[in-house]
């Protein structure tokens, strides 16, 4: 699986459960290492408490990877809640990957019917087009995050699934509870954490010229969720997944802070 596909799975893994009453939105900072080398820095802003939700994530190349091929992407999603289910309204991903501009804009005039409003580069060049019927009943990647958020907040477990269309690929994700584990100090956290097992499977929107059977292989990952700040919501403190070409990919929480003032300013 190519690193860009790995990043999609990592973003899905970085879910922040809905905050308990009185808790604040938070900004979480992560470092991504491949075979022990720093390759990316990630920031994730979460505001999931209330009738609507907002998630914004930024991924930037770092270390040797940043020196060789600079990449910077911002992804955001907003929507409303229908019980424990997210109702997406808009999804945006834009930036550059290895110097090439990338953009995806989805909106949802009808629930479960994503409409592509912008796509750069267009499908049909690097990626096969996802048939329209396979897009029905899907949500964007970050709204799938919000769904996982509600499940963890309501049940204390991470058992859920989501049908996802991100403008290019159609994938199915499943998450299962794998127990608890005490983690040694690394980055900004040490202590007891909920262990969640992820699996992603792409079913359409394959890269042109690639073996579709190879692309359909399930891609597992593991995330550990805990409370690095007393009285605040739990969030992923570590994520791990294996890459066929890049070795082990590790995402580690290196900082977190409440964001009451920043969220208020964004909502004005």
Express as a percent the part of the chain with pLDDT over 90.
37
pLDDT of 99 reads 73
Tally of structural domains, the chain:
1
Task: Please tell me whether the overall predicted TM-score, pTM, comes out greater than 0.85 for this model.
Answer: no
Query: Is residue 111 a contact partner of residue 122, using CB atoms and an 8 Å limit?
Result: no
Please tell me the least confidently modeled range out of 10-24, 44-58, 63-77: 10-24
Host H or E run for residue 55: strand 52-61
Range list of H helices, 18-131: 63-68
| Segment 204-237, tens digit of pLDDT | 988 887 777 777 888 888 999 888 888 777 788 9
Q: What is the domain extent for residue 65? A: 3-266
The predicted pLDDT at position 18 comes to: 46
∠ CA 68-142-24, rounded to 5° = 105
CA 95 to chain centre: 16
């Amino acid at each position: 699986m190519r690193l860009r596909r790995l990043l999609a799975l990592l973003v899905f893994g970085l879910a922040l459960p809905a905050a308990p009453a009185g808790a604040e939105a938070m900004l979480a900072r992560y470092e991504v290492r491949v075979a022990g080398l720093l390759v990316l820095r990630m920031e994730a802003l979460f505001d999931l408490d209330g009738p609507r939700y907002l998630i914004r994530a930024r991924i930037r190349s770092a270390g040797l990877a940043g020196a060789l091929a600079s990449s910077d992407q911002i992804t955001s999603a907003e929507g409303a809640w229908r019980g424990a289910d997210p109702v997406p309204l808009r999804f945006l991903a834009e930036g550059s990957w290895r110097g090439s501009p990338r953009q995806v804009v989805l909106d949802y005039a009808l629930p479960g019917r994503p409409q592509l409003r912008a796509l750069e580069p267009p499908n049909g060049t690097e990626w096969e087009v996802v048939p329209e019927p396979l897009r029905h009943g899907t949500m964007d990647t970050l709204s799938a995050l919000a769904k996982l958020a509600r499940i963890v907040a309501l049940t204390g477990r991470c058992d859920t699934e989501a049908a996802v269309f991100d403008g290019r690929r159609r994938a199915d994700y499943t998450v299962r509870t794998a127990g608890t584990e005490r983690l040694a100090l690394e980055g900004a956290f040490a202590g007891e954490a909920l262990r969640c097992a992820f699996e992603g499977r792409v079913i359409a929107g394959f890269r042109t010229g690639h073996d579709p059977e190879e692309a359909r292989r399930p891609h597992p990952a593991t995330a550990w969720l805990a409370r690095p700040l007393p009285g605040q919501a739990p969030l992923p403190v570590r994520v791990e997944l294996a890459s066929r070409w890049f070795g082990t990919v590790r995402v580690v929480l290196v900082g977190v802070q409440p964001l009451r003032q920043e969220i208020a300013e964004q909502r004005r």
